[in-house]
Structure 1
Amino acid sequence: MTSRLHNLVIESVGTRIISGDLAAGDTMHSEHLETELQVSRSVAREAVRVLQSLGLVESVKRVGIRVLPETSWNVFDPSVIRWRLAAAGKGAQLRSLTELRSAVEPAAAELAARHAPSDLGAELMAVAAKMRSVGRAGDLQQFLDLDIHYHGLVLAASGNEMFARMQSMIAEVLRGRTDYGLMPERPHEEALQLHMDVADAISGGDPEAARSAMDKIMRRTMEEVGSVWADEPRIFTQLP
């Protein structure tokens, strides 16, 4: 029960900040959260600590809980990604994440072809084959689960722990694409084959082919969903 209430506070406040209902500079008080959401002081305080770790708020003595600007947000955190994909500016968020994937995943596939243990390569082949079967059957939910596992395996097989830690972030991108109706009713045959090609290249130790096939996957993704962000302005963040 405590865990559920804790998550309720985080979700409620987090979504309001990301959506703009609570603007940068707005202040809240822990007591108000306790009353509004009917939670204990300890639950409210712990939830605020989590929101602080996400860069969404700060506690200011004698002022309260202050909402921070977007430049302070931890944009790599899966919760922040999920909230941003549910907000009005989801197109810009999807573009940023897809461009990040386009830069990282081909490199991860190349590294995986060079360094992946044989058991990971075999598992990747098995997952790709199942993706093709499930995709042809039109089971988008099972396909999503397999797709998340597949891309996580590629990142992990790279042997780069920084890439591997991006698994949960990419999982939220893939979930968002499905949840917001940005997937075709059935994955295209070319996309299914490209996933097989990446797995085959990694399993066979062919770095150039692995990078090329993953790059094609990402370019296809950009083409399929690019219309979502066509009119979204780019975000230019000032460096400190």
Structure 2
Amino acid sequence: MTAQAIAELSQVEPDEGASLREEVYLRLSELLISGRLAPGDKVSLRDVAGALDVSIMPVREAASRLVADHALEITPSRAIRVPIMTRAEFIELTRIRKTIEGHAAAEAALHHTTEDLQRLRSAQSSFRTQSMASRPAARRVIGANMKFHFALYSAAGSPLLVKIIRGLWLKAGPVINLSVGQPPNRIAVDGVELHDIVLDAVLNHDGERARKGLVDDIDSGAERILRHGTFQDDPPVKDRGRSFGET
């Protein structure tokens, strides 16, 4: 884990109704979903425990749950890290995301509330501001993108659907880091314009247009990642992944 990710871990908003075990799991999940960890990053249980001021036990249990979710993996050396996908795995994940998240976008267009629209507009405004900055900060762009997507999915009015999508983003979030090296103008042109299409479709209760706009948005990001990302079945690269502290 990077020093920045460790620092951000303690800043994730707590769930007041969650037990300690669940809280640790949710905070680690948020790092993955928000793209603050990248494929190959090693997770130090001691550093996580220190950042959250808890014992090692709930951290180990949370990590075990995430391993069971296939969001983390244990290496032959017993280190815990974010998995590095093969290209085929990423393509399959993208296909599943388009089906499920596209459905959520269509449902959001049909079932949103006034409060949902306010959250969507706010999230898109933040994404536009971060993307169009003269020197965009990649992590802020990625975080704003995530907030727009989940504001959209929440507007579908189905907690179960959001839970399923969160499970997909446990795997997708870190991979989004692979697009960080892209020219900022491409993130702005592609992401902001496609989000605008989705938002306009939701405003006009056009489920099919919202679905297509969301699918196009996922496809756009996936194409950049496939062009510029590093996958498990690519030629070996030196020092893949990052590690700070002991596991």
Q: Which moved more, 1:90-99 or 1:153-162?
A: 90-99
- Counterpart for residue 184 of structure 1: 183
Q: Cα offset for 1:162?
A: 2.3
Aligned residue among 108, 112, 116 for 2:112: 116
Flag the 1:46–1:211 CA change in 2: closer, same or farther, 3 A.
closer
* Greater helix proportion: 1
- Per-residue CA deviations over 1:33-75 (Å, capped at 9, x if unaligned) read 99xxxxxxx9565555445444x5xxxxxxxxxxxxxxxx322
TM-score by length of 2: 0.57
Q: Are 1:74 and 2:69 an aligned pair? A: yes
Q: Cα offset for 1:111?
A: 0.4
Aligned residue among 78, 95, 98 for 2:94: 98
Q: Cα offset for 1:210?
A: 0.5
Q: For residues 61 and 144 of structure 2, what CA distance do their matches in structure 1 show?
A: 34
Q: Cα offset for 1:197?
A: 0.9
Q: For residues 170 and 202 of structure 2, what CA distance do their matches in structure 1 show?
A: 21
Q: How does 1:139-218 map to 2 (within 5 A)?
A: 139=136, 140-165=138-163, 166-167=165-166, 169-170=168-169, 173-178=172-177, 181-186=180-185, 187-218=187-218
Flag the 1:205–1:171 CA change in 2: closer, same or farther, 3 A.
farther
Q: For residues 125 and 230 of structure 1, what CA distance do their matches in structure 2 show?
A: 35
The runs of 5 or more residues in structure 2 that have no matched partner are 1-9, 11-20, 29-38, 47-53, 74-79, 235-247
- Per-residue CA deviations over 1:92-123 (Å, capped at 9, x if unaligned) read 55444333322221111000001111221232
Q: In percent, how many aligned pairs have the same letter?
A: 16
Q: For residues 133 and 123 of structure 1, what CA distance do their matches in structure 2 show?
A: 15
Q: Cα offset for 1:193?
A: 0.9
**SS of alignment partner, residue 158 of structure 1:** coil
TM-score by length of 1: 0.59
Flag the 1:52–1:171 CA change in 2: closer, same or farther, 3 A.
closer
Partner AA of 2:139 in structure 1: Q
Partner AA of 1:135 in structure 2: S
Partner AA of 1:109 in structure 2: A
- The 8 Å contact of residues 118 and 203 in structure 1, kept in 2 or not, is answered as no
Q: For residues 224 and 99 of structure 1, what CA distance do their matches in structure 2 show?
A: 15
Flag the 1:180–1:206 CA change in 2: closer, same or farther, 3 A.
closer
Count of aligned pairs between the two proteins = 180
The runs of 5 or more residues in structure 1 that have no matched partner are 12-17, 20-32, 35-41, 57-72, 234-240
Q: For residues 223 and 178 of structure 2, what CA distance do their matches in structure 1 show?
A: 18
**SS of alignment partner, residue 205 of structure 1:** coil
- Per-residue CA deviations over 1:166-201 (Å, capped at 9, x if unaligned) read 337527634542367354333141331110110111
Q: For residues 51 and 125 of structure 1, what CA distance do their matches in structure 2 show?
A: 35
Partner AA of 1:121 in structure 2: L
Q: Which moved more, 1:105-114 or 1:157-166?
A: 157-166
Q: How does 1:125-144 map to 2 (within 5 A)?
A: 125-137=121-133, 138-139=135-136, 140-144=138-142
- Per-residue CA deviations over 1:102-158 (Å, capped at 9, x if unaligned) read 222111100000111122123212322332232121423322221111011111111
- Structure ID, larger Rg: 1
